[in-house]
């Protein structure tokens, strides 16, 4: 076992769950949630009958009052991955399918499931999205209504223990789950005068889009073979 100090940058409560997994593997952890979820008021479009629901993040469900989701519980859900699928089941949806991938995988799964149904899909989404899922499905003749349920506000500073550890060169690796949190990491480090030190640890990235935030040379960047946490954590030396 190679024990290392890892910085987890994802939002709460997922950051705590990831840190617990890493500690169970014998690693030390620091947590700096660099995005904070902020609910956005929304309503189910009046008079619309939907064939199903699309979800690309567990945060879309966590940001919504359970009572608001109740009228949708009878609809099938296609979730981007297993973590989001688990959140959908926890939110009361009984028929949930995981695309086990990224936005493109979700679009393929939704196309196979709903093409030819005639009724639109309801996409529960965040304000900032890396890919245009409705546009992908429009190419397949599927109409999608988008409901924005939350936005993520980037942090403006790193916690003091994280700044101290970066300055001392003690952090071995940083886990990045989204492009926006990776951008926030670099911005917060620069604001603290630690932009160079922030690039010294290995940057563990969930996807190529996340990895693109970091310089192509002079930075140790590794990318998960599949966009899920299991594949990301598998990159960490053991």
For residue 37, the cross-strand partners are 152
Supply 13's token pair. Answer: 């409560």
How many angstroms separate the CA atoms of 103 and 18, rounded?
22
CATH topology of domain 37-152: Rossmann fold (3.40.50)
Supply 38's token pair. Answer: 């902020």
Boundaries of every domain in the chain = 5-34+155-233, 37-152
For residue 55, the cross-strand partners are 79, 124
How many Cβ atoms from other residues are within 10 Å of residue 128's Cβ? Answer: 14
Kindly report the pTM of this predicted structure: 0.80
Classified as helix, coil or strand, 67 is helix
pLDDT tens per residue across all 238 residues of the chain: 577 999 999 998 889 999 999 999 999 999 999 999 999 999 998 889 999 999 999 999 999 999 999 999 999 999 999 989 999 999 999 999 999 988 899 999 999 999 988 899 999 999 988 789 999 999 999 999 999 999 999 999 999 999 999 999 999 999 999 999 999 999 999 999 999 999 999 999 999 999 999 998 889 999 999 888 999 999 998 7
Q: How much helix, strand and coil, in percent to the nearest 5, is found in the chain?
A: 35, 20, 45
CATH topology of domain 5-34+155-233: Rossmann fold (3.40.50)
For residue 152, the cross-strand partners are 37
How many angstroms separate the CA atoms of 13 and 17, rounded?
7
């Amino acid at each position: 076992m190679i024990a290392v100090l890892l910085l987890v940058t994802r939002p709460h409560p997922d950051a705590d769950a990831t840190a617990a997994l890493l500690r169970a593997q014998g690693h030390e952890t620091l947590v700096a949630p660099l995005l904070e979820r902020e609910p956005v008021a929304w309503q189910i479009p009046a008079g619309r009958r939907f064939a199903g629901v699309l979800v690309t993040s567990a945060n879309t469900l966590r940001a919504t009052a359970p009572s608001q989701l109740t009228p949708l519980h009878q609809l099938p859900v296609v979730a981007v991955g297993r973590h989001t699928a688990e959140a959908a089941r926890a939110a009361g949806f009984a028929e949930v399918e995981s695309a086990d991938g990224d936005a493109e995988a979700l679009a393929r799964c939704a196309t196979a499931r709903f093409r030819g149904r005639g009724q639109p899909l309801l996409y529960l989404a965040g304000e900032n999205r890396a890919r245009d899922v409705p546009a992908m499905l429009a190419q397949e003749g599927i109409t999608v209504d988008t409901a924005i349920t939350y936005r993520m506000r980037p942090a403006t500073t790193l916690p003091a223990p994280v700044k101290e550890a970066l300055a001392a060169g003690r952090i071995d690796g940083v886990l990045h789950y989204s492009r926006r949190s990776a951008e926030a990491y670099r911005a917060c480090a620069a604001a603290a005068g630690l932009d160079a030190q922030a690039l010294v640890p290995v940057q563990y990235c969930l996807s190529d889009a996340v990895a693109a935030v970091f310089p192509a040379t002079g930075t140790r960047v590794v990318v998960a073979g599949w966009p899920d946490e299991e594949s990301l954590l598998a990159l960490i030396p053991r």
